[in-house]
Amino acid sequence: MRDFPSYYGELRGVERKLMYKSEGLAMERSFYGIRNYEGSNERVVSVEEYGAKGGGVDDTMAFEKAWNAACSSNSPITLMIPKGNMYLLKPITFSGPCKSHISVKIMGTIEASSNPSDWNGKNQRTWILFNNVNNLVILGGGTINGNGKVWWQKSCKIDKSQPCKDAPTALTFNACNELRVENLNVINSQQIHIEFENCKNVMASSLTITAPSYSPNTDGIHIAGTQNITLNRCTIATGDDCISVVSGSQYVNATNIICGPGHGISIGSLGANGSNDLVSDVTVDTAQLTGTSNGVRIKTWQGGSGYAKNIIFKNIIMKNVRNPIIIDQNYCDSTKPCAQQKSAVQVSNVQYSNIKGTSESNLAINFSCSKSFPCSGIILQDINLVMSSGKSANSFYENAKWIKEGTVNPSP
């Protein structure tokens, strides 16, 4: 263990850097970035002023008209989706840039069309898309319902005779900077529930995301190519990862997360099809995972390149989690076996601190790392994981360079 003092110092430096970065972002946002609308006097317009009827009729065109009017406003404006009504939408894109700041207050329910043919000739990967809209605020306490059951039935993971293809993400933010998303319920998405893609400076809080445990590929929050994003007070129960972080993402902070059922909190998968994927500076602090198939996981395909580095998982409670702590550099989500390859995404500088609870399997810590690119700079600090039955759990380390602090159970 004394052979790795440099890893220890480097990880401590990473943690300090993330702390300072987070504090700096908070100060910056309070002055410049994310607006607070409580008590605001800006103009409010309702989608019903532009023809939205609710009650199950197609309101797509009315929402488009309302957005175009709001986006072209020369002064800040709030676009209201009223409480007490359900508005049916086909695939829709709210595009920027806009002339002024926009707040969208979702107080009612927005529901997706149940007819997949409504996506014919359109992007199969999105339902509600906000594209290139800066200084956007989404809030209101309402519900976004992806009406995903018809899509799940046609998934190759449910019906093996079906081809594997994309289904829509319920709510996508692409290239939206200085973004705030707060106090929403997102349920039964066709696939991913919320995706932040190529965004900068994002605050997402008080989100409740729900889908059945059997729903395929229904990640709760998916983060791709996004920098400086904070997730706080989110409750997620789905059929896939509660939170997934993939290539191009940096300075990701997730705090006060409740997860389960689902596949846990994942970085990756990375390196699929030989891709060069980069993820760094991720912190998960204060989380509870219950009945998930994985706890905190890093997963990479063989044959890829790039890195997953400077990652901290701390203050986490596991309850009946099948694989509480796992690094898998041999990930293979394929019907065919994946061939052994020499190249791999480098996993380094990962800290696990104050993680306690119960494991459904006898393998509570599992580091399956690459022989060519071993996992390095792993710190284990104050870990106590036992089997749900009360029996002692085991650990497995392959091609992993680690040190430990305090009590680590199961012992490496």
Q: Which helix (H) or strand (E) segment is 20 a member of?
A: helix 5-31
Only one residue has tokens 């290139």, namely 132
Q: How crowded is residue 192: how many other Cβ atoms within 10 Å of its Cβ?
A: 28
Query: Is 328 considered catalytic here?
Result: no
Measured CA to CA, the distance from residue 125 to residue 170 in angstroms comes to 9
Measured CA to CA, the distance from residue 318 to residue 384 in angstroms comes to 10
The sign of the dihedral angle between the CA atoms of 357, 360, 361, 367 is: negative
Q: How far is CA 261 from CA 41, 131, 320, 364, in A?
A: 41, 30, 11, 18
- Indicate which residue of 219, 240, 285, 328 is catalytic: 240
- Indicate which residue of 263, 281, 285, 328 is catalytic: 263
Measured CA to CA, the distance from residue 4 to residue 26 in angstroms comes to 34
CA atoms in the 13 A half-sphere facing the CB of 217: 24
| Selection from 58, 130, 47, 39 nearest residue 82 by Cα | 47
Query: Is 193 considered catalytic here?
Result: no
Measured CA to CA, the distance from residue 297 to residue 108 in angstroms comes to 36
Token representation of residue 387: 């089997």
Annotated catalytic sites, by residue?
Answer: 240, 263
